[in-house]
Amino acid sequence: MEQKWWQKSVIYQIYPKSFNDSNGDGIGDLKGLIEKLDYLAFLGIDMIWICPIYPSPMDDNGYDISDYQDIAAEFGSLQDFETLVAEAKKRNMKLMMDLVINHTSDEHKWFIESKASLSNPKRDWYIWRNPKEDGSAPNNWRSIFGGSAWEWDQTTEQFYLHTFSKKQPDLNWENEEVRETLFNMVNWWVEKGVDGFRVDAITFIKKGNLTEDLPTTDRDGLALISHACLNQTGIGDFLTELKQKTFANFDLVTVAEAPGVKPEAMPSYIGDNGYFDMLFEFDHVDLDIGKDGKWFEPVNWSLHDLKTAITKSQTHLNESGWGALYLENHDQPRSLNKFLGEVAEADRSKAAKMLATFYFLLKGTPFIYQGQELGMTNVQYESIDVYDDLASTDQYEMALQAGLSSEEALQSVWRRSRDNSRTPMQWDETTHADFTNGQPWLPVNENYKAINVEQQLKDPSSVLHYYKKLIELRKTSEYSETIVNGVYQSILTENDSILGYTREYAGQKLVVLANFTNSSIQLEELAGNPLLTNYESPFSGRALRPFEAVVLEA
Ligand code: GLC
Ligand code: CA
């Protein structure tokens, strides 16, 4: 396969609300982001993915779009966007937009028209159905953010479908006008200088049988919509058309948020002629929650489960397609807390570097989520009222309904809340970590004096500098080709403490070892030339120290 620019790239994810505020209103914005482009260039970033910046009532922080062809006032203007494109280009950085086309906001003008009357020309742009004979919802699907996936509309006496919140009505992809309008919108952004798209919740666009109940034993009588609407037969026609009429006509990169894609469907998604270039998998990040994603029902997982998920994915990628490598994003807690639980303060930096090493050198394009490069950690707000994320409030309520105490319910939010990763970026040790001169929309994590950019820039042994080294190793060293193209093979597969693998290409072989525990683990003698380690003193070859990670040339 001919090498694509995005296979050699490192992508950095920006959560715009929390990155950098330029005007003191407590909300990050495009001007603030532009101020920090030099920081990202210093790190070695090739492309930034910005979470949605379109006008939105912000019910789901921008994933509820009310106008696809503008910029939200709190983030700036189309002119600021153009400046951002130009400033990024000056630094050889590309731009990836978030494309949210399964649903809009209920405040989008299309939906306002659609709900105006049964005969409105846009009625069929959304999914409307009559109630059952007893007046209840058309079926028993539960939305991802809780409660029925159907919302009653008094004016026209029908229900509309929403996979996510009731302020996020689903578009009707069966309607050709809807599809054409969305495709034109995508092309409009490409003309504006966008180099790629992260395509939100795309495996939901084809719906299952809208009049059928799902079996359930849940107390609310509902069953999660994912069991009926994920990756349904026929979705391929929509995705092929999307690709043909948009992405395929430009030199872009696309990465799909695509839960529910079975291994046998992988080639159609990301194979040589796949709908997308890469997709985000979930097995490795969701191993601590059950299949319906209830936060208060934690799953006991072991390193073995993580290894199995990684090897399954990488083995596929050896055959076909390309990986999107990630540990964190705006929907996930911080990786240190998730993968390692309680880590002593003295071990934090080492542990963060160990996690970085293990995922960054897998086969695929690495994504870094803002603050991950500092080893930022979860937050524990003292009350559910401080949380802004609607999934957190919903999960808290579900936990109470299931009989948990308010303390236990809050603890499950501490563990899993999406706000864990949405706290403001920690720039320095001044008030509010210098994220804003005003009041931040979400409180800064109180550990900002110990974890911040300014201090890590000064410290060559910081997590930040380690990420920079990893990026250099991947992009500009004599091992680049192997890191990009090498075949993955799991090693020490049965070991309970160490995750290990090799990458092999054109006669060169790299060994990556990561100790996930805070104890020393003996190894059988390993011969090799160490290229990188997260300790100051050299790797002994006979044991991995607590949280030690090492990269060797075999
Ligand atoms: C995706 C986004 C998430 C959002 C949801 C609905 O999963 O990553 O943040 O809430 O889609 O748009
Ligand atoms: Ca602002």
DSSP symbols for 28-51: --HHHHHHTHHHHHHHT--EEEE-
CATH number of the domain encompassing residue 120:
3.90.400.10
Q: Is the pTM above the cut of 0.95?
A: yes
306 and 405 fall within a common domain: no
How much distance in Å is there from the Cα of 130 to the middle of ligand 1? 27
Tell whether ligand 1 has an atom less than 6 A from the beta carbon of residue 100. Answer: yes
Tell whether ligand 1 has an atom less than 6 A from the beta carbon of residue 19. Answer: no
**Which ligand is nearest to the Cα of residue 28, counting in written order?**
2
Residue whose CA is closest, atom 7 of ligand 1? 201
CATH number of the domain encompassing residue 511:
2.60.40.1180
β-pairing, 543-544 vs 521-522, is antiparallel
Considering the domain boundaries, does residue 471 fall inside one?
A: no
Residue whose CA is closest, atom 2 of ligand 1? 200
45 and 22 fall within a common domain: yes
How much distance in Å is there from the Cα of 25 to the middle of ligand 2? 5
154 and 184 fall within a common domain: no
Q: Could you tell me which residues come within 8 angstroms of residue 311 by beta carbon, excluding any fewer than 6 positions away?
A: 488, 490, 493, 501
Q: Is the pLDDT of residue 542 over 60?
A: yes
How much distance in Å is there from the Cα of 258 to the middle of ligand 2? 31
What's the total number of domains in the chain? Answer: 4
330 and 271 fall within a common domain: yes
| Residues known to be catalytic | 200, 257
545 and 512 fall within a common domain: yes
Instruction: Identify the sign of the CA torsion 266, 267, 268, 274.
Output: positive
368 and 503 fall within a common domain: no
375 and 395 fall within a common domain: no
**Which ligand is nearest to the Cα of residue 144, counting in written order?**
1
pLDDT interval class at 1 (50, 70, 90): low
The pLDDT tens digits of the residues spanning 289-321 come to: 987 889 999 899 999 999 999 999 999 999 989
d(CA 431, CA 24): 12
184 and 127 fall within a common domain: no
**65, burial (CB in 10 Å: exposed 0-12, middle 13-18, buried 19+):** buried
Show the domain range for 144.
109-161
Torsion angle (degrees, nearest 10) of CA 409, 414, 420, 425: 130
260 and 349 fall within a common domain: yes
Tell whether ligand 1 has an atom less than 6 A from the beta carbon of residue 389. Answer: no
pLDDT at 219: 84
Residue whose CA is closest, atom 12 of ligand 1? 63
The pLDDT tens digits of the residues spanning 68-86 come to: 999 999 999 999 999 999 9
400 and 429 fall within a common domain: no
Considering the domain boundaries, does residue 226 fall inside one?
A: yes
How much distance in Å is there from the Cα of 365 to the middle of ligand 2? 31
Q: Which atom of ligand 1 is nearest to the CA of 64?
A: 12
Considering the domain boundaries, does residue 25 fall inside one?
A: yes
Q: Can you read off the two tokens belonging to residue 3? A: 């090498």
pLDDT at 526: 76
Q: Which atom of ligand 1 is nearest to the CA of 390?
A: 10
434 and 395 fall within a common domain: no
